[in-house]
Amino acid sequence: MVKVDLWRRLHDHASVKLTFELSQRGKPLLRYEGYTFCKKFEHNSRIRWVCSTHCCRGCYAYIRTIENTIITVKNEHNH
């Protein structure tokens, strides 16, 4: 699990890409290090994003954001 300190270190480098997109069905997606994450849960300004292959492959990678700022990353995929 990557906490805020590592996120700050990662974002000091231009190599880390974080983009917000829309799916083909108009749902919000987050793209991070080549993987896409879909919005799973939102409470106040906190959002939990899960790997977009979570349902079909059982991947448990996720990202948590507050107001579009990453607070937690578990970027360990099983695919």
pTM over 0.85: no
For 34, the domain range is 4-74
Q: Is residue 70 part of a domain?
A: yes
Tally Cβ neighbours within 10 Å of residue 69: 12
Q: For residue 47, which of 34, 25, 31, 30 has the smallest C-alpha distance?
A: 30
Q: What is the CATH number of the domain that holds 50?
A: 2.20.25.240
Q: 20: which DSSP letter? A: E
The SS3 assignment for 10 reads helix
Q: Is residue 50 part of a domain?
A: yes
Q: Is residue 11 part of a domain?
A: yes
The string of pLDDT tens digits covering residues 5-63 is: 444 444 443 445 678 899 889 999 999 888 999 999 999 999 999 998 876 778 889 99
Q: Is residue 79 part of a domain?
A: no
Q: How many domains does the structure of the chain reveal?
A: 1
